Structure 1
């Protein structure tokens, strides 16, 4: 089954609450090197082969890197917020019961 990158990010963040994927991209400077490290770490954590994305990062234009950074940042933040929301809801249920 082929997974979309946003689903892979969501799964990794849900399965690894101690990991903050956003730290791999948190910087003012956009670089291929940081994106390659990010995809290698994501590949390691998810067990999903991401060579397509790694090859894209190696060969794409600078403008596309900016778009990719924005896309990844959006889905990482969304998944981390969802994880936090679920955790808070879980704690609230425990206090109520």
Structure 2
């Protein structure tokens, strides 16, 4: 089954969005968000172009600047085997882990 994700950022970046915590508003932002969900945007290539332009506008305006980057560090004894560094690995299951001698 193919899954589809709607990339429309209006839910958190539009003028009326309840989760627009930065309170960023601009006419250009409104224009691009409206264009991204217009009837012309049924053409996926056109919609892609609009959202790329919207992303460029966000880079120019910088309404949100990340202030925290979380880093998770975990120590593992060198005798532990099959311990993955990637959580998408099939070895991420705890019963696959083992200890060498």
Query: What's the TM-score, normalizing by structure 1?
Result: 0.35
Taking CA–CA contacts closer than 8 Å with sequence separation of 6 or more, which of the two structures ends up with the larger relative contact order? 1
Say which structure is richer in helix.
Answer: 1
TM-score under structure 2 length normalisation: 0.34
